[in-house]
């Protein structure tokens, strides 16, 4: 028998060295991530010019630049203000902000894991695994704002932490401090995961030197420079900051032990819901699999570090739950903590997965991405056909024209709730809008006043709205007769939104 010819040998060697489909996909992943979130911006702008609840809140808050805005840190609102000044106040700016942060989170995950593993495929695997977390893939597009920012802050801190532990240059420590500041200015629960990662590194000799080095002081210095003024506001406005703390203890029981059990169980249950799809997909992929490759020792050390970080963070959460008798845990509150899980799972599972199994995970993640886009479209375009309209179906442009026809052009607007207030401000950008929840914006000294509320069910003027008007005007409404305007909801011919309004002339 004759051996292969020289030509056949060259072809065989070329086939062995040619990048595989997974390699090409992994190399293209940053571009695919940017493309996906660009599509999400287009979809959001296409489906409705109206605002959802969290979007409307940002439009309200962005009326003034402040060091704090109540129960949430201010960074998301600052970023919204900047984009409003560039692109104008509207849906496009809000959609762009959200999807820039989401794209940044995926990209930072990709580059952090690529640094850890020196392998683009496992980096891409970790990034797309974020799509297997419903709170990140679906809820972030449907409703969230500050939670989107805290994921970005956690991703930035994680990426900077990897750089610190690998290189330890001054710029890396500065980036770590910036990441910490961004996370703290996103959500108040972020420091838990940052502290856990630092403690985990201190317990491991391989990483302890980088954290204990004098150069590490650069990180807190940068963080303090960014955080000191918001921190002063926070201390001076404790009541506003704690205004929503009651949500943590809504079902507190008479038994202290039962409160502890309820809180810890809520933490476990929330984590389980958060991770369910990720566990199912990787569990199926790992079924009857065998190790086919190995990670470098440095990458394995990082897996151990991140797992230890997750354990310390979980312990800190349990301590806080017990200390403050927290009984209500929502899955999105765990976002900064459980962000680490796709990275850990991808790094740990990668050596045990054949290429076709990795490809299957990519396919499932891609299906999740497409499903999110389709559901975002159907929720607003088809939801009303099943008697499930949502705030994006609000016909505020038509209602605003009817309000102008009733005699109000601009002035002081008192709205019954944030969703209505934000949407009305979009239609009357020259007016200042306040609500019972956000009553502290500076109102113009003169001009007419508009009181507005949802009267779809024939509701009278809400008491809180009358009290708000009396607080700022110093007088009651008297015998003012409400005027009602209504319009068919967007993409919902069977549903109408009816608003009650009272226009009070200037003194």
Q: What residues have CB less than 8 Å from 89, skipping those under 6 apart?
A: 59, 62, 425, 426, 429
Tokens matching residue 136 = 């990140």
pLDDT at res. 350: 93
CA distance 461 to 35: 47
pLDDT at res. 293: 65
Query: What is the reported pTM?
Result: 0.91
Q: What residues have CB less than 8 Å from 99, skipping those under 6 apart?
A: 37, 38, 40, 41, 44
Q: What residues have CB less than 8 Å from 427, skipping those under 6 apart?
A: 396, 397, 399, 400, 403
Q: What residues have CB less than 8 Å from 281, skipping those under 6 apart?
A: 132, 361, 364
pLDDT at res. 348: 93
pLDDT at res. 269: 83
Residues in the chain with pLDDT < 70?
1-19, 240-256, 291-294, 327
| Rg, Å, the chain Cα set | 26
CA distance 56 to 35: 26
Q: Dump strand ranges (E) for 325-442.
A: 412-415, 432-434
pLDDT at res. 247: 55
CA distance 108 to 100: 12
pLDDT at res. 347: 95
Indicate the angle between helix axes 205-212 and 191-202, nearest 10 degrees: 120
CA distance 278 to 313: 20
pLDDT at res. 288: 82
Q: What residues have CB less than 8 Å from 194, skipping those under 6 apart?
A: 157, 180, 183
Q: How far is the CA of 119 from the CAs of 82, 107, 350, in angstroms?
A: 37, 15, 10
pLDDT at res. 298: 82
């Amino acid at each position: 028998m004759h051996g292969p010819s020289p030509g056949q040998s060259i072809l065989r060697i070329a086939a062995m060295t040619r990048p595989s489909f997974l390699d090409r996909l992994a190399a293209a992943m940053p571009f695919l991530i940017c493309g996906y979130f660009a599509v999400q911006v287009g979809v959001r702008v296409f489906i409705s010019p109206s605002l959802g609840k969290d979007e409307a809140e940002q439009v309200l808050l962005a009326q003034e630049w402040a060091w704090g805005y109540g129960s949430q840190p201010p960074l998301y609102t600052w970023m919204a203000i900047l984009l409003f000044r560039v692109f104008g106040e509207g849906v496009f700016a809000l959609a762009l902000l959200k999807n820039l942060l989401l794209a940044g989170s995926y990209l930072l995950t990709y580059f952090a894991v690529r640094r850890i593993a020196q392998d683009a495929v496992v980096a891409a695997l970790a990034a797309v695994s974020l799509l297997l977390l419903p709170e990140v893939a679906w809820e972030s597009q449907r409703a969230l704002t500050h939670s989107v920012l805290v994921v970005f802050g956690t991703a930035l801190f994680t990426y900077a932490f990897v750089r610190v532990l690998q290189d330890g240059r001054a710029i890396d420590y500065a980036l770590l401090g910036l990441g910490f500041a961004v996370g703290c200015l996103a959500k108040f629960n972020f420091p838990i995961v940052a502290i856990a990662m630092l403690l985990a590194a201190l317990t491991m000799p391989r990483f302890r030197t980088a954290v204990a080095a004098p150069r590490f002081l650069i990180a807190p210095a940068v963080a303090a420079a960014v955080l000191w003024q918001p921190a002063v506001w926070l201390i001076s406005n404790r009541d506003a900051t704690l205004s929503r703390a009651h949500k943590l203890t809504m079902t507190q029981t008479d038994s202290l032990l039962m409160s502890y059990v309820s809180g810890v169980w809520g933490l476990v249950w929330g984590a389980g819901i958060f991770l369910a799809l990720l566990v199912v997909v990787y569990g199926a992929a790992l079924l009857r699999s065998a190790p086919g490759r190995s990670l470098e020792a440095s990458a394995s050390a990082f897996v151990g570090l991140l797992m230890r970080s997750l354990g310390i963070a979980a312990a800190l959460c349990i301590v806080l739950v017990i200390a403050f008798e927290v009984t209500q845990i929502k899955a999105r509150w765990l976002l900064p903590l459980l962000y680490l899980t796709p990275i850990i799972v991808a790094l740990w599972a990668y050596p045990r997965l054949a290429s076709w199994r990795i490809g299957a995970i990519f396919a499932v993640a891609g299906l999740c991405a497409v499903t999110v886009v389709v559901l975002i479209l159907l929720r607003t375009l088809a939801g009303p056909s099943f008697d499930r309209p949502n705030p994006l179906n609000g016909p505020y442009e038509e209602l605003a024209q009817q309000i102008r026809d009733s005699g109000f052009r601009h002035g002081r607007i008192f709205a019954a709730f944030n969703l209505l207030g934000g949407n009305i401000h979009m239609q009357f950008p020259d007016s200042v809008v306040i609500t019972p929840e956000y009553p502290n914006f500076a109102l113009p000294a003169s001009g007419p006043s508009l009181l507005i509320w949802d009267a779809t069910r024939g509701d009278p003027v809400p008491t809180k709205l009358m009290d708000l008007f009396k607080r700022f005007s110093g007088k009651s409404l008297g015998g003012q007769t409400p005027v009602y305007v209504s319009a068919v909801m967007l993409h919902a011919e069977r549903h109408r939104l009816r608003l009650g309004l009272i226009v009070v002339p200037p003194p």
